Structure 1
């Protein structure tokens, strides 16, 4: 009976030691996770200027491309309207000549 009690007492002491060890390990893991999170946050914050600059560079590139595309479209439309104006001018001149040379056509 005394051996049985001693064995139970030893088992309880071992269990308490395991619980204490697990609690210490848990606290160590929590501290490590917090430290890792702080490190990751610091690294992210350190990269913010780089990320911002990269974003701004890409936005500027897209803006330059959009302006170039608009300028290209404007130039195409201007050329089209110039050709159309020349065509209409020629038609107007021909009509004026017909009217001047044959006033009865009115």
Structure 2
């Protein structure tokens, strides 16, 4: 074991404890998050727990009508999407609607 291996262990344990990766980057003195991510080594239990959390999240029914889209931006953008019209809803889901207002809209 090398002293440098302890940096990997420390950062991995801190990540497991819930320390955000951008904070770990500062602690390690790395210039980029990519470098910090190479130091993190999740164990099999962490990977299993993440999969179970995703499965639980996906199994909960959120709304009787499925996901509800809403416009972010101006009210003019919101007027472009009528969630009651299946064609508009389908276009929005695949990015078929675009906004031409100045604030960026949807």
TM more than 0.5: no
Query: Which TM bucket (shorter chain)?
Result: under 0.3
> Structure 1-normalised TM-score?
0.24
User: Which has the larger helix fraction?
Assistant: 1
> Structure 2-normalised TM-score?
0.24
